[in-house]
Amino acid sequence: MSDVTTPAVKAGPDVRAVLVDAGIVLGTFALLGVIGAFIWHQVTPLATYTATKDNALMDQLQLAKQVSTDGWFFMIALGGGLLAGAGLMWWRGRDPVVTVVLIALGSALAAFLMVRVGLDLGPGDLKAAFAKAAVGEKVPIRLAPHGGDVRLNLLGVHLSAPIVSFMWPIGAVLGTLGVLFLTPPRATQQTPDRQPAATFG
C-alpha cells in the first residue's frame, strides 16, 4: 500500500503581500509627489503683478511666465507618473489587477501632494500681499496650477482638481500599460499545501 500526495494550491490573494505592495506603491508615489513639488518650486519662474493705486497689472511677459507654471507641472507630473508606473508595475506586479489599482490611487496621491506642497513652498495669499504692497511693487503669484479645474459630483460630494494634475495618473497608466504589453507575463507564485489525495492498496 502506498500513499500518494498531491499539492493543493491556495486560492485568493496573499493579504500580507497585498499590504506590503500597498505600502511600497503608495509610499513611493507620496515621496515622488513631494519631490516633484520641490522641483516645481525650484524651476518655475513665478509671474508677478505690479501693484497700482487701486488695482494690479500683469504684462505679456508675466502672462507667459504664468503659463509656464502649468507647463513645468505638466512635464514633472507626466515624467514622474510614467517612471513610477512602469517601475512599480515591473517590481511589484505579482498581481497585475491589484497593482494597477494601487498605482491609480498612488498617482492621485502624488498629484494632490505636489499641488498642496507647492502651495506651501511658494508665496502666500495674493490679497494679503497686495494689502501691504506699495504702488509699483512687484507681487508674485502663488505656485499653483492656473489652467482651470475639473469639477465632479460623486454621490453628492463636489470635487474639484486642476486639469494639469491629471498628468500624474495619465503618466502612471501609460507606464503601467507599457510594462504589461511589452514584458512577458510572470508565472503566478503558488504556495502548495501538501495533502493526502488518495490511498491505493
For the chain, first and last CA: distance in Å?
4
Q: Is the pTM for the entire model greater than 0.75?
A: yes
Sign for the pseudo-dihedral over CA of 39, 145, 122, 84 = negative
Q: What is the pLDDT of residues 175-199, one digit of tens each?
A: 999 999 888 766 544 444 444 444 4
Q: What is the pLDDT of residues 11-45, one digit of tens each?
A: 556 888 889 999 999 999 999 999 999 999 999 98
Domain boundaries, the chain: 2-196
Which amino acid type is present at position 109? L
Q: What CA–CA distances, in Å, run from 67 to 48, 72, 81, 161?
A: 12, 9, 21, 17
